[in-house]
């Protein structure tokens, strides 16, 4: 057995729920009839897209209209935003979720939004189909336990300084509290490189797939922070066997209230859709 295989075996022993028992052990997450599967290279490559933050009713309706015309099944948009500076736009809160729910239902899309606090889990669950746990909260164990007690699918983002083991143990918190519907998201880690916002760790995909049966998607937007690179990293994510991507798209990128540098225009997003078809 190679050293890597021994390490995989050792790591699996620490996991009661997330460990992959054999090569055919996969997981299917059914979200109102839409399936996200952990099967490798399945045709079912899920695209989640939308603005970094919901900014207005008009903005999210315009974006949802465009994305649904491209058959994107899942609309993303932050309402509770974990901003590095307290002086940056913090999101519209519940009002934003109301706008997103309206946009998603008008255009027949599912929705995903971040919940930052245990206290908000119940209310956010009323508006969205998938609860996102952001990178900064990956080790907020009380939040993980709270979402573990819900029956909502959870999109768990890797912290930018978390090892694979820490990432999987965070998923284990959710699974062990009764919620089996966890989707992992590799969103880039912090390295010495300063040209990129983060280093999208694409190796995480095949490595985690050795250890776990959970679906894994990537976030080329936060993973690079550079809009020119997002198409290539999306194609690479699909090629390496990820089960999907989450991408930031804006109707007016220049005036985006958050993560402007990585916000793709509709035209730029068209190119991605064509590349991964
Ligand atoms: C996001 O997806 O809106 C976000 C804030 O991402 P992350 O938690 O990965 O930084
Ligand atoms: Mn963002």
| Whether the predicted pLDDT of 219 surpasses 70 | yes
**Tokens 């939004």 sit at which residue?**
113
Q: What is the pTM of this model?
A: 0.98
| Whether the predicted pLDDT of 65 surpasses 90 | yes
- For residue 259, give the nearest of 115, 83, 136 by alpha carbon: 83
| Any atom of ligand 1 within 6 Å of the Cβ of 50 | no
Instruction: Please name the residue ranges forming H helices in 24-128.
Output: 57-69, 94-106, 121-125
Mean pLDDT of 100-115: 98
Cα gap 99→117, rounded to integer Å: 20
| Whether the predicted pLDDT of 57 surpasses 90 | yes
Mean pLDDT of 199-209: 98
pLDDT band at 95 (very low <50, low <70, confident <90, very high): very high
Q: For residue 219, which atom of ligand 1 is closest to its CA? A: 9
**Tokens 């309402």 sit at which residue?**
79
| Any atom of ligand 1 within 6 Å of the Cβ of 134 | yes
| Ligand with an atom nearest the CA of residue 260 | 2
Tokens of 266: 């509709």
- Mutating to test ligand 1, I would choose from 78, 97, 140, 260 the residue with most ligand atoms within 8 A of its C-beta, which is 78
pLDDT, residue 40, reads 79
pLDDT band at 102 (very low <50, low <70, confident <90, very high): very high
| Ligand with an atom nearest the CA of residue 200 | 1
- DSSP letter at 178 equals T
Weakest-pLDDT range from 19-28, 38-47, 228-237 = 38-47
pLDDT, residue 44, reads 81
Determine the distance separating the centroid of ligand 1 and the alpha carbon of 114, expressed in angstroms: 8
Mean pLDDT of 112-139: 98
pLDDT, residue 47, reads 98
| Whether the predicted pLDDT of 41 surpasses 80 | no
| Whether the predicted pLDDT of 43 surpasses 80 | no
- Mutating to test ligand 1, I would choose from 49, 79, 82 the residue with most ligand atoms within 8 A of its C-beta, which is 82
| Ligand with an atom nearest the CA of residue 82 | 1
Q: For residue 137, which atom of ligand 1 is closest to its CA? A: 8
Q: CA 209, 214, 219, 222: dihedral to nearest 10 degrees? A: -100
């Amino acid at each position: 057995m190679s050293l890597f295989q021994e390490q995989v075996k050792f790591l699996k022993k620490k996991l009661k729920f997330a460990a992959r028992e054999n090569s055919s052990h996969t997981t299917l997450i059914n979200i109102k009839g839409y399936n996200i599967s952990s099967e490798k290279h399945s045709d079912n490559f899920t695209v989640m897209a939308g603005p970094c933050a919901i900014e207005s009713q008009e903005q999210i309706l315009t974006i949802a209209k465009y994305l649904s015309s491209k058959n994107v099944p899942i609309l993303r948009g932050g309402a509770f935003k974990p901003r590095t500076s307290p002086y940056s736009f913090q999101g519209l809160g519940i009002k934003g979720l109301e706008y997103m729910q309206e946009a998603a239902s008008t255009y027949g899309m599912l929705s995903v939004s971040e919940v930052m606090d245990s206290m908000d889990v119940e209310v956010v669950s009323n508006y969205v189909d998938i609860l996102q746990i952001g990178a900064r909260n990956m080790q907020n164990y009380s939040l993980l336990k709270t979402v573990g007690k819900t029956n909502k699918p959870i999109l768990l983002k890797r912290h930018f300084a978390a090892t694979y083991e820490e990432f999987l143990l965070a998923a284990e918190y959710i699974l062990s509290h009764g919620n089996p519907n966890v989707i992992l998201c590799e969103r880039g880690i912090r390295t010495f490189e300063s040209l990129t916002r983060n280093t999208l760790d694409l190796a995480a995909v095949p490595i985690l797939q050795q250890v776990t049966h959970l679906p894994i998607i990537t976030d080329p937007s936060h993973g690079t922070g550079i809009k020119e690179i997002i198409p290539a990293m999306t194609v690479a994510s699909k090629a390496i066997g990820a089960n999907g991507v989450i991408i930031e798209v804006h109707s007016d990128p220049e005036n985006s209230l958050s993560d402007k540098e990585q916000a793709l225009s509709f035209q730029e997003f068209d190119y991605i859709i064509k590349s991964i078809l």
